[in-house]
Each structure stands twice: as structure tokens, then as C-alpha cells.
Amino acid sequence: MKQLESIELFSGAGGLALGLHAADFQHRALYEWNASAVETLRYNQKMGHESLTDCEISRADVRDVDFRKYRGVDLVAGGPPCQPFSMGGKAAGMNDVRDMFPQAIRAVAEVQPRAFIFENVRGLLRPAFSNYVEYIRLQMEYPEYPLAENSSWDQNLARLQRHKERVGKSGDGLRYRVHVHQANAADFGVPQQRHRVFFIGFRSDIETDWSFPKPTHMDGTQLAKRLAKAKGSEAKYLKGLSPWVPLSAAIRDLPMPTDKPSKKWPNHLLQNGAKSYPGHTGSPLDRPAKALKAGAHGVPGGENMILYPDDTVRYLSVRESARVQTFPDDYIFLGSWTEAMRQLGNAVPVKLAEIVGKSVAEALSGQTNKKAQASGNEAIQSS
């Protein structure tokens, strides 16, 4: 069977890339602008990390990249910068110069992949951005549709809506079936409550009944309450779920970090200065961690601290944070503690990326198998 190939934009330190590789995608190229994140990617590639072998890693502004050279690649993926839509930022959205969804859509138009996966923060689904989300979705559905440069985004939205009404499902040209889903990483076995939004599309000639993966975990308290009342198929479904993975389970076998580097546990240095303040009280050990945050001006303390039963707190080490984001222990982060934590705060949990990527890979491979079987049948009939 042909190896599924992918390219990725806005790769950061590699969370999505590692997950998609585990889902059987071979990366042709990764693009990232942040210098420290690129150093992390290249270092792990140099050290032989299999997720990054035979992969071009480029520090580049994607606005300057001609993606047509990747025509024929199966998947385009990436995480456009989330700051325009983040609840912790200014939420300027479509008026933020960091909004890179237009470049993600251009990459799809130029590569014409069989599928794409883009992720962002759940703040994107706030009511204030609902029309812009529809604008993004319609552009992804019709990536070659020419937008009017002298028109506003909402005027172009109206044009896209009229175009969809006019052509329907039978229109010529490049078209994708686009799915928009919100997922909490904790519901998929990640020891972190991290809500992400996924835009997943399949080219219109790809025959698949794909659906977003079903959760495998649930808040243990809620699971017990629902099981007590559930019957029939619901009870059967709930019995198949596991309780959320707590922070304690993720870091249980790690020693307490110290101020001296450890050969056995890289990136596991103690960072002093952790303090609680209103709204920032750290993550209890018996629950999934709060979502790690990148922070535009340093690292927000509350989201990146452990809250012990005696109400004392300490910062998570980089290695502990990598565990929270389900990176493997042999994956090394370069840069200062603040910079490494920023890389982790911007990352997609590797396990969540793998689960989502595997569902897309299976859909594409199934469609490939159908074509191969059809070709074999034609050959038999003609012989």
C-alpha cells in the first residue's frame, strides 16, 4: 500500500507532527516561523527521532512559500496561530495580522490534498466569531474560489454563500466536505483539559463516511453518576469509557525536579518562583492538568503549576509539561524554561493528534483499498 504523505504548516515544536506520524503519515515538509521551535524540530531530527526522518524542516514565513511543488500529497495539516481567537488574548480575530487561516486555505488550493486537518482554540467558536468561522469553512469547501481583494471578509462571505447555492453539490472545480469539531483532550486519555477545534476536510471525490473519533474517557464523577441511571445501549457505551487520566498518573514515575541536570530525565529542572494568585492556583494532582498556556509576555503561572493537597504550589518542569502534552520522553525541547514552556503551550497533544490523524488515515486508506479492488475487478473482467 502506498505510504500516506503529508505537509504541515505552523508546526511549532512538533506535537501535531509526532501524532500524525504515529497515525502512519510520512511528512514531506514542516514549516514553522518561530526560531526556537525550529531548533527543537531540527535537534530531534538530528538525534534520529523517527517522526522527523526524511522530512524537510524549514524556518519560513508561509506567505512566501509556493505549495504547488507538493501537489499529490495526501494531507495538509497545521495549527494556524491561535492568538487572534484565544480567550487569553485580545481576540481581534479576523482583524489580527496573525490570522493565518487564509494561508492554510491557499496551501489546500495549491496542493489539492485528499484531506486536510487544521486545529485551533475553542475561542474560535465564540458567538462573536460565528460568521467568520462560516467564512473559513466555506473557503475550505471551495478553496479555489476567487475572493475580491477590494471587498471586506463579510462581503466575500456573502459571495461564497451565493456561490454554494448556485453550484450545490454538483459544481465543477476543487471542493471539500468540511467537518468542524470541538474536542477536549482529556476525553481522549490526555492528562490535560485542553479544548481544541478541528477543521477536517475530505476532497469531494473521496468516498468516505468519516466521523470524528468518539471519546474514550470521561470525568470519573460524571461517569459514575451517568452509569447509575443509564440503561441499554447508553449503559453499554458508558461502561466502555475510562475515567480521565489525572496529572498524578502522568508524572508518577518522575523524580522531583532539582536544579541539577539529569541524564536520565532531560528537561527536568526545577523552576523556582511559583506563586498562587486569584484565578491562577495551579492544577490539582487528582485531576487532568489545566491547559498549558504559551503566554505572549512570559508564561502564565496558574496554568503551569502543580497544586499540592497542602495548598503549596510549584512550577511544572519542562519534562512534566511534555508528559502532560503526551510527548515521548526522548523528545528534547531547546531554549530557556520560558521558551520551552511556550513551545509546549502552543502544541497539540501528541495523543490527540494521533487519534484524529488515525481516523483520517483509515478513511483515506479505505478509499484507496476500494479503488485498488475496483481496478483488480476490472482487470479480471477484461482478461
Pairing of strands 176-184, 283-284: unpaired
Residue 177, all three cell numbers: 466536505
Q: What is the largest CA-CA distance in the chain?
A: 78
Catalytic choice (82, 160, 294, 299): 82
Name the DSSP class of 358.
Answer: H
Residue 272, all three cell numbers: 523556582
* Alpha carbon distance 344, 321 (integer Å): 7
Q: Is 82 a catalytic residue?
A: yes
- Beta bridge partners, 199, equal 118, 180
In 122-237, which ranges are E strands?
A: 176-184, 192-193, 195-203, 217-218
Q: For residue 254, which amino acid is it?
A: L
* SS3 (DSSP) at 360: helix
Are the beta carbons of 34 and 14 closer than 8 angstroms? no
Residue 349, all three cell numbers: 497533544
- Beta bridge partners, 181, equal 198
Q: For residue 296, which amino acid is it?
A: A
What does residue 202 show for φ and ψ, rounded to 5 degrees? -120, 135
Measured CA to CA in angstroms, residue 183 lies from 44, 135, 187, 304 at distances of: 28, 21, 8, 21
* Alpha carbon distance 108, 71 (integer Å): 10
User: Which residues are designated catalytic?
Assistant: 82
